[in-house]
Amino acid sequence: MEKVKAGICAFFMAIGGFFKRFGEAVVKGDLFVKLSLIWVGAGYARRKQFIKSIIATIFEVVVLIYSIGFAPKYVSKFGSLGTVKQESVFNIVTMKNEFNDYDHSFLILLISLISFVIWIVAAVAYLHNVIAVYELQKKAQAGEHINSFVEDVKELFNHKFHVTLLFLPVAGIVIFTIIPLLVMILVSFTNYDQKHMPPSALFTWNGFDNYINLFGGGGLTITFGYAFVRILAWTLVWAFFATLTTYIGGILMSLLLNNKKTICKKLWRTLFIVTIAVPQFVSLMLVRNFFADSGIVNTICANIGLTGWLRDMGLIGTSFIPFLSAPGWAHVMIILINIWIGVPYQMLIATGVLMNIPEEQLESARIDGATPRQIFWKITMPYMLFVTGPSLVTDFVKNINNFNVIFLLTEGVYVTTNQLMANSQAKETDLLVTWLFRLTQDYYNYKMASAIGMVVFVICAVFTLIAFNRMIKGDREETFR
Amino acid sequence: MKKKTISVITHNLLIAFLAIFWLIPIIWLLVTSFSTYPGMNTSTFFPENWGVDAYKNLLFSADSVAQFPNWFKNTFIIACFSCVISSMFVLMVAYATSCMRFAMRKPLMNVAVILNLFPGFLSMIAVYFILKTLGLTNNHWGLVLVYSASSGLGYLIAKGFLDTVPASLREAAYIDGATEFQVVWKVVMPMSRPIIVYTVINSFLAPWMDFVFAKIILNAGISDQWTVAIGLYNMLERSLINTYFTQFCAGGVLVSIPISVLFVIMQKFYVEGITGGAVKG
């Protein structure tokens, strides 16, 4: 926690320092520094950095044209997300039906957001520019060498190489992660769904309505609250068992394989790896048909009389075992199948960790007369937990978002019979993410999907922060070195 | 002595039993792909008539549903491009954060931690609309962008490796007058071959393994544009499964072979990456 506080403090201090330097530059700068408040290329031109001056000017012009000529059309409607509905109007000149000049709510949202990002970046660049120009002035006054353009470019491959390296990756992250994330946050506060699909219809802000619906408010006809609680509970149960079973299974399997008694360790390990090297969409789809209602396993079970026995016991009411098509059965099967697919991964990791256990520790324990069991519980397990603790946390989060296993195993196979779940397009076996996926792909219910996405993010973030804080508390870094 | 032999045998038998258990579905995949019956065989584990019809149909007589050669080509092209871009991005970010020191380093890394908490999958709706606005849905370039654009966030494993390259080597090069670019190219990269191999294979495999993103971006239902993943998924639609199940198995086998080979090569770096990063904290 202290670290976080210090980080936040440092962040605001840095921003303060930035503005202070800007103020200083404006006050103490010469005419050209002050002129660069209006014409950003001025300072560079004064120091004979003409190419830089031209580039800066071009940027300024482009941003100004964008902000005056293009952005206002959309940003001005950001408050209402558009008022003019799409209509087909007969045009007398062209003798055709044409659309009126309608508002596209999503474009308004997206372009407004992009404009905000551009303006923030431009503002920072603008302030930074004034500071840079003032630095140039100071250099000139001290009689120091001022870089030519070629020298500036060379710097980008030398001391400022990190700028070159980071520019494209960061731009990619901003466009494909940060902006989508912000769009999603905004959409979760609108009524964007099938009835409000641009371009033919408009959508608008609706405050916290989606979240209220999700958390059980919003009246009796809306069952999102019920479905949300059910699915959230299953998501957490699933993530807990999926993480725990594969973790323990991985350790056990790795101990088994790395035992002295094992003949040709490499061969066995490769055999287990084959199961995870097959892409999940192949192996999971295959297993799904393996356990289908009329699949091969059911045939075998019927032949050996297991199906009949279960029916006599009253455990099933059908002529087959509903491995993946009835609640309860499906939940258990999903976790079991996940063991099949997840244990080899954990086995690989556990093998790597076990091989790194300091041999002297094991040796001294043996000399002191510790039994293998004691060694396992007192040395191997603590070491294991210490090294893989962080990845255990990330595994849990990954399992909360484990789309593949649930979707590939149950989509199209599992049909819910619970009317309340069906009303909100949910199934008992859904995780929050598969529910979100179905809401967007099949039902175009973007508002609820975004709200669910936000909830998933908050759950993951809170869990991770708490877990990491606990784990890092008390510096244990040196314990095993 | 005899007791020991028995325990060795039981131990290995236990492992063999587990291995068979783990491999049953894979064996089923393999044997079913050699069946002459096109649908799913539900009565026996092994097919009744053996043959390579499924492979023949899959590779040489493409129809509107099964376009395996096209899918393979599409996936391969997408994988190549996104592999080049995302490997570069990952290594660039890793080098900048590991070997260089600049003011924004820590804040950027902290932001990356927070962004990594947010599963990329969740922002998919918005990415889809952005690509749609740009006219890049149902387009392979759009998919390449989705796979590679924010790959810089996955830099931690590569950074963990670069952290182990001794700083003294780089300093020696600086003293000799090398620029940062030359240091990367001539000193650090030649020493980092394992992590480069890991990064390249990893980013090459991502498009082969991925299912969700391809399904969202290539949603128009034009089957010759699909990747292997959606193509094979589609073969098991309820109305198609009885004619295409064996071809699905054959396709699964054909995709799995190259992927398994790459995966086995990558596996030892994978372990080093995960545990190595964790030990360093």
Q: Show the domains of chain B with their CATH numbers.
A: 64-280 (1.10.3720.10)
Task: Give the residue-averaged pLDDT of A40-54.
Answer: 85
Instruction: Name the band, by pLDDT with cuts 50, 70 and 90, for residue A243.
Output: very high
Instruction: Name the band, by pLDDT with cuts 50, 70 and 90, for residue A237.
Output: very high
Confidence at residue B271, expressed as pLDDT on a 0 to 100 scale: 65
A348 contact B CB<8A? yes
Confidence at residue B83, expressed as pLDDT on a 0 to 100 scale: 94
Instruction: Name the band, by pLDDT with cuts 50, 70 and 90, for residue A474.
Output: very low
Task: Give the residue-averaged pLDDT of A308-332.
Answer: 83
CA distance A132 to A44: 9
* C-alpha of A121 from chain center: 23
A299 vs B42, B179, B270: nearest CB: B42
B96 contact A CB<8A? yes
Asked if B22 lies within 8 A of A340 by C-beta distance, the reply is: yes
Residues of A in contact with B141 (CB under 8 A): none
Per-domain boundaries in chain A: 2-83+105-191, 224-472
The answer, yes or no, to whether residue A480 has pLDDT greater than 60, is: no
Residues of A in contact with B110 (CB under 8 A): 7
A169 vs B44, B45, B92: nearest CB: B92
Task: Give the residue-averaged pLDDT of A407-412.
Answer: 86
Instruction: Name the band, by pLDDT with cuts 50, 70 and 90, for residue A239.
Output: very high
Task: Give the residue-averaged pLDDT of A117-133.
Answer: 91
Q: What is chain A's mean pLDDT, rounded?
A: 85
Task: Give the residue-averaged pLDDT of A93-114.
Answer: 85
Q: What are A374-393's pLDDT values in tens digits?
A: 888 888 888 888 877 777 88
Asked if A165 lies within 8 A of B96 by C-beta distance, the reply is: yes
User: 0.90 cut: is pTM over it?
Assistant: no
A479 contact B CB<8A? no
Asked if B29 lies within 8 A of A183 by C-beta distance, the reply is: no
Confidence at residue B281, expressed as pLDDT on a 0 to 100 scale: 34
B198 contact A CB<8A? no
Q: Classify residue A117 as left (phi > 0), alpha (psi -120 to 50) or beta.
A: alpha
Distance from CA of A197 to the nearest CA of B (A): 12
Asked if B95 lies within 8 A of A441 by C-beta distance, the reply is: no
B41 contact A CB<8A? yes
B123 vs A181, A286, A401: nearest CB: A181
* C-alpha of A236 from chain center: 18
Confidence at residue B277, expressed as pLDDT on a 0 to 100 scale: 46
Distance from CA of B111 to the nearest CA of A (A): 10
Asked if B211 lies within 8 A of A11 by C-beta distance, the reply is: no
Q: What are A83-94's pLDDT values in tens digits?
A: 888 887 777 777
pLDDT (tens digit, 0 to 9) for every residue of chain B, 281 residues total?
Answer: 677 888 888 888 889 899 998 889 899 999 989 988 888 777 778 888 888 888 888 888 878 778 889 999 999 999 999 999 999 999 999 999 988 888 888 888 888 887 887 766 777 778 888 888 888 888 899 999 989 988 888 888 888 888 878 888 888 888 988 888 888 888 888 888 888 888 898 899 888 888 888 888 888 777 788 899 888 888 888 888 888 888 899 999 999 888 888 887 777 676 665 555 444 43
Q: Any idea which residue has 């030990």 for tokens?
A: B279
Residue of chain A whose alpha carbon sits nearest to that of B269: A352
Percent of chain A with pLDDT over 70: 96
Per-residue CA distances from B156 to A414, B163, B212, B273 (Å)? 38, 10, 24, 9
Q: What DSSP character marks residue A83?
A: -
DSSP string, A423-477: HTT--TT--HHHHHHHHHHTT--HHHHHHHHHHHHHHHHHHHHHHHHHHHSS--T
Cis peptide before A199 (omega within 30 of 0): yes
DSSP string, chain B: -HHHHHHHHHHHHHHHHHHHHHHHHHHHHHHHHTBS-SS---S-SS-SSB-SHHHHHHHH---SS--HHHHHHHHHHHHHHHHHHHHHHHHHHHHHHHH---TTHHHHHHHHHHHHHS-GGGGHHHHHHHHHHTT-TTSHHHHHHHHHTTGGGG-HHHHHHHTTS-HHHHHHHHHTT--HHHIIIIIIHHHTHHHHHHHHHHHHHHHHH--HHHHHHS-S--GGG--HHHHHHHHTSTTTHHHHHHHHHHHHHHHHHHHHHHHHHHHHHHHHHHHHHHHH-
The answer, yes or no, to whether residue A457 has pLDDT greater than 60, is: yes
Confidence at residue B279, expressed as pLDDT on a 0 to 100 scale: 42
Q: Which of A:399-428 have CB within 8 Å of B?
A: 401, 403-404, 407-408, 412
Confidence at residue B272, expressed as pLDDT on a 0 to 100 scale: 63
**In degrees, to the nearest 5, what angle opens at C-alpha B168 toward C-alphas B163 and B172?**
130
Residue of chain B whose alpha carbon sits nearest to that of A263: B12
Confidence at residue A481, expressed as pLDDT on a 0 to 100 scale: 40
Q: Which of A:433-462 have CB within 8 Å of B?
A: 433, 436-437, 440-441, 446, 449-450, 453, 456-457, 460-461
Tell which CATH architecture fits domain A224-472.
Orthogonal Bundle (1.10)
The answer, yes or no, to whether residue A99 has pLDDT greater than 60, is: yes
B279 contact A CB<8A? yes
Element (H, E) at A98: strand A96-99
Distance from CA of A166 to the nearest CA of B (A): 6
Residues of A in contact with B45 (CB under 8 A): 296, 300
Asked if A170 lies within 8 A of B152 by C-beta distance, the reply is: yes
Confidence at residue A2, expressed as pLDDT on a 0 to 100 scale: 63
A177 vs B22, B115, B133: nearest CB: B115
Asked if B29 lies within 8 A of A278 by C-beta distance, the reply is: yes
Asked if A271 lies within 8 A of B19 by C-beta distance, the reply is: yes
Confidence at residue A116, expressed as pLDDT on a 0 to 100 scale: 93
* C-alpha of A376 from chain center: 36
Is residue B226 within 8 A of residue B77, CB to CB? The reply is no
Confidence at residue A475, expressed as pLDDT on a 0 to 100 scale: 44
Distance from CA of A31 to the nearest CA of B (A): 30
Asked if A285 lies within 8 A of B248 by C-beta distance, the reply is: yes
Confidence at residue A477, expressed as pLDDT on a 0 to 100 scale: 42
Asked if A356 lies within 8 A of B275 by C-beta distance, the reply is: yes
Asked if B260 lies within 8 A of A274 by C-beta distance, the reply is: yes
Reported ipTM: the value is 0.85
The answer, yes or no, to whether residue A343 has pLDDT greater than 50, is: yes
Instruction: Name the band, by pLDDT with cuts 50, 70 and 90, for residue A259.
Output: confident
Range of lowest pLDDT (A121-125, A282-286, A313-317)? A313-317
Q: What are A141-176's pLDDT values in tens digits?
A: 888 888 888 888 888 888 888 888 999 999 999 988
B14 contact A CB<8A? yes
